[in-house]
């Protein structure tokens, strides 16, 4: 299961916009769990970020790049070796809390994977696991009742988050800043960009749950269906994209081009910034304030009016849309790089010739539109205030859990015990039915405390890893990042959810033809008045302090 990066909790279904319940905070709805804010209040101001010390103990088939393209592995590295000695914990119990985007796994007393994980850590790790839709309320309740535990995933939308972290959470600056992080080599292997999101009020208060460019959103096409129908699967211009949608649609045969209106991609097609833009003088402008946003709305409205979008998309969840994509009732779907695994796991085995292609984003002039780069982090985790010895012990545990692919620690944490939770197909681990249940299909929610850098690796499908790498090589170097990454807006935390809902409702009304595109000017003006201008001001202040 994939885990794209979001700015708000997005377990409510993708609906008409598909991944776009999004338009004020830049969040992307889908099947992911995320609790992240854009970043620290002034990340990097007054603090030295942890040094990046790359782990070179495993050699990828295709190395990653400084632009953020991850290491690519065509198979799991053979004969993974144990890197760390002993166990990281001291035998005392550890309590934690995390969200999950799948069925909650069996409890620790009935879960052999969890028991094996505890044995490797050296302590009983008691996790409170909460379905993602309920996590913000659970987090707020735990804050009020001092029930967060020793280490916990942080709800980034929590109001007055910096104040909460300062009053409740352990300041990790002395343990992780600069070269101090060398004591924790797997944490030191996490990219610098991700650490920016852990800094609040000039101190390091968290551990990043990294995702990076694999959370970037793009268009996917059923390449086999395009070939079958003789349609070009790589439209270069917006007009060519619309023609391809028309050619892939046949309502009489219950087939449509699109699983939903891909609003993230439509914004990219018209050259809009990745949620926010910042000028040389430090002025921030939101994408929804710009004239091309109305062009994206007009195109989305046209796609629906011309019946090029699956008719059930209005109330659909991302799982529904993926099902239509797999069944061939829709041929284009907006999702993240990291979702490619689920695209194949759910569909490829039962469909002969099934193939997914990755599109470069069409534009008005025929040159690929810049890709919006996904946020560096899914979320962050934090430690409850405690004494130095226990702080170091908990960091050792998190260091063990952050082991990168190709180490014995990673194989154990990700897949469990060989012969019980997984078997080997050559070097690739294949989960057993028990492993799929207890280890949550390889995504046991321990990964929402910390995770190693996400590799470009799809067991048994090296061609998928190659396709993603090839697309990234073309799209990532010219990609556009959200300039609010590493900044914090308290108003976004307190009113962002309400503003998102208002904007999404207005977008849906326009797409469905209930309101004209011209009504958008009033929507944008109301957004500014109801909190958008304050959010802008807070980002501008943080940006100015960071660049002083």
On whether residue 480 sits in a domain, the answer given is no
pLDDT at 46: 80
Query: What is the extent of the structural domain holding 296?
Result: 217-370+485-546
181 shares its domain with 297:
no
- Report d(CA 495, CA 532) in Å as an integer: 9
pTM summary value: 0.91
Question: Mean pLDDT score of the chain, rounded to an integer?
Answer: 91
pLDDT > 70: what percent of the chain?
91
Q: How many domains does the chain have?
A: 2
Decide if pLDDT at 159 tops 80: yes
Please state, in angstroms and as integers, the Cα–Cα distance from residue 11 to each residue in 115, 136, 409, 413, following that order: 29, 11, 31, 26
257-306 pLDDT tens trace = 999 999 999 999 999 999 999 999 999 999 999 999 999 999 999 999 99
pLDDT at 8: 26
Lowest mean pLDDT, pick from 236-245, 298-307, 314-323, 375-384:
314-323
On whether residue 224 sits in a domain, the answer given is yes
CB atoms within 10 A of CB 59: 10
On whether residue 1 sits in a domain, the answer given is no
* Contact between 219 and 386 (Cβ < 8 Å): no
**Interval 468-485 mean pLDDT:** 97
350 shares its domain with 494:
yes
* Contact between 240 and 368 (Cβ < 8 Å): no
330 shares its domain with 447:
no
102 shares its domain with 168:
yes
Which of 436, 470, 504 is at the close of a domain?
A: 470
127 shares its domain with 146:
yes
361 shares its domain with 411:
no
On whether residue 276 sits in a domain, the answer given is yes
20: Cβ contacts below 8 Å, ≥ 6 apart: 14, 28, 29, 261, 262, 263, 264, 504, 507
**Interval 176-198 mean pLDDT:** 97
pLDDT at 34: 52
On whether residue 343 sits in a domain, the answer given is yes
Instruction: Name the band, by pLDDT with cuts 50, 70 and 90, for residue 349.
Output: low
CA terminus-to-terminus distance, the chain: 41
Which of 435, 470, 505 is at the close of a domain?
A: 470
On whether residue 365 sits in a domain, the answer given is yes
**Interval 481-497 mean pLDDT:** 93
- Report d(CA 129, CA 139) in Å as an integer: 11
- Rounded to the nearest 5°, which phi and psi values hold at 428? -80, 130
pLDDT at 548: 83
CATH code assigned at 355: 3.40.190.10
Instruction: Name the band, by pLDDT with cuts 50, 70 and 90, for residue 329.
Output: very high
291 shares its domain with 151:
no
CB atoms within 10 A of CB 184: 23
189-222 pLDDT tens trace = 999 999 999 999 999 999 999 999 999 999 999 9
- Report d(CA 271, CA 292) in Å as an integer: 8
50 shares its domain with 159:
yes
Q: Which of 46, 47, 38, 24 is nearest to 483 (CA)?
A: 38
pLDDT at 348: 63
207 shares its domain with 242:
no
404-454 pLDDT tens trace = 999 999 999 999 999 999 999 999 999 999 999 999 777 899 999 999 999
On whether residue 344 sits in a domain, the answer given is yes
- Report d(CA 361, CA 236) in Å as an integer: 7
269 shares its domain with 353:
yes
275 shares its domain with 362:
yes
On whether residue 23 sits in a domain, the answer given is no
Hey, which bits of 327-385 come out as E strands? 330-336, 356-359, 377-383
| Region of 348 on the Ramachandran plot (φ > 0 left; ψ -120 to 50 alpha; else beta) | alpha
262 SS3 class: coil
C-alpha of 150 from chain center: 25
* Contact between 353 and 224 (Cβ < 8 Å): yes
Decide if pLDDT at 11 tops 50: no
**Interval 9-23 mean pLDDT:** 40
104-156 pLDDT tens trace = 999 999 999 999 999 999 999 999 999 999 999 999 999 999 899 999 999 99
pLDDT at 500: 95
């Amino acid at each position: 299961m994939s885990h794209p990066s979001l700015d708000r909790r997005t377990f409510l279904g993708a609906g008409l916009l598909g991944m776009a319940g999004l338009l004020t905070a830049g969040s992307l709805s889908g099947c992911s769990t995320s609790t992240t804010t854009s970043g620290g209040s002034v990340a990097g101001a007054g603090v030295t970020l942890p040094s990046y010390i790359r782990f070179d103990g495993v050699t990828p088939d295709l190395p990653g790049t400084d632009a953020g393209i991850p290491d690519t592995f065509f198979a799991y590295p053979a004969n993974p070796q144990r890197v760390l000695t002993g166990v990281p914990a001291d035998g005392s119990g550890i309590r934690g809390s995390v969200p999950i985007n799948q069925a909650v796994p069996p409890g620790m007393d009935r879960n052999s994977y969890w028991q094996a994980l505890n044995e490797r850590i050296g302590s009983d790790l008691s996790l409170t696991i909460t379905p993602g839709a309920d996590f913000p309320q659970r987090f707020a309740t735990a804050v009020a009742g001092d029930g967060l535990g020793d280490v916990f995933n942080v709800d980034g939308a929590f109001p007055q988050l910096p104040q909460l972290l300062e009053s409740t959470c352990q300041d990790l600056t002395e343990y992780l800043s600069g070269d101090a992080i060398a004591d924790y080599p797997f944490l030191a292997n996490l990219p610098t960009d991700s650490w920016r999101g852990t800094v609040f009020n000039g101190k390091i208060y968290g551990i990043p749950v990294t995702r990076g460019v694999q959370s970037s959103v793009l268009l996917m096409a059923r390449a086999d269906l395009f070939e079958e129908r003789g349609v070009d699967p790589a439209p270069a211009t917006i007009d060519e994209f619309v023609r391809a949608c028309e050619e892939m649609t046949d309502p009489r045969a219950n087939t449509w081009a699109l699983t939903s209106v891909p609003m993230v991609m439509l914004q990219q097609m018209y050259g809009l910034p990745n949620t926010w833009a910042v000028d040389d003088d430090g002025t921030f402008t939101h994408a929804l304030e710009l004239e091309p946003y109305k062009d994206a709305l007009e195109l989305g409205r046209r796609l629906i009016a011309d019946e090029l979008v699956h008719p059930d998309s209005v109330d659909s969840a991302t799982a529904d849309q993926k099902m239509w994509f797999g069944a061939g009732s829709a041929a284009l779907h907006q999702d993240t790089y990291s979702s490619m695994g689920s695209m194949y796991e759910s569909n490829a085995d039962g469909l002969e010739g099934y193939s997914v292609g990755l599109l470069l984003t069409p534009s008005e002039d025929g040159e690929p539109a810049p890709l919006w780069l996904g946020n560096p982090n899914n979320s962050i985790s934090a430690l409850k205030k405690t004494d130095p010895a226990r702080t170091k012990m908990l960091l050792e545990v998190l260091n063990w859990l952050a082991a990168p692919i190709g180490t014995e620690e990673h194989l154990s944490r990700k897949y469990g015990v060989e012969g019980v939770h997984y078997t080997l197909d050559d070097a690739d681990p294949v989960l057993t039915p028990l492993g799929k249940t207890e280890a949550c299909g390889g995504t046991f929610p321990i990964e929402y405390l910390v995770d190693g850098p996400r590799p470009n690796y799809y067991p048994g499908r090296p061609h998928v890893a190659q396709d993603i790498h090839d697309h990234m090589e073309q799209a990532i170097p010219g990609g556009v990042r959200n300039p609010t990454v590493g900044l914090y807006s308290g108003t976004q935390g307190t009113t962002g959810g309400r503003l998102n809902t208002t904007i999404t409702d207005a977008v849906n009304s326009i797409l469905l033809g209930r309101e004209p595109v011209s009504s958008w000017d009033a929507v944008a003006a109301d957004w500014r008045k109801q909190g958008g201008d304050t959010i802008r001001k807070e980002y501008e202040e943080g940006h100015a302090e960071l660049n002083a």
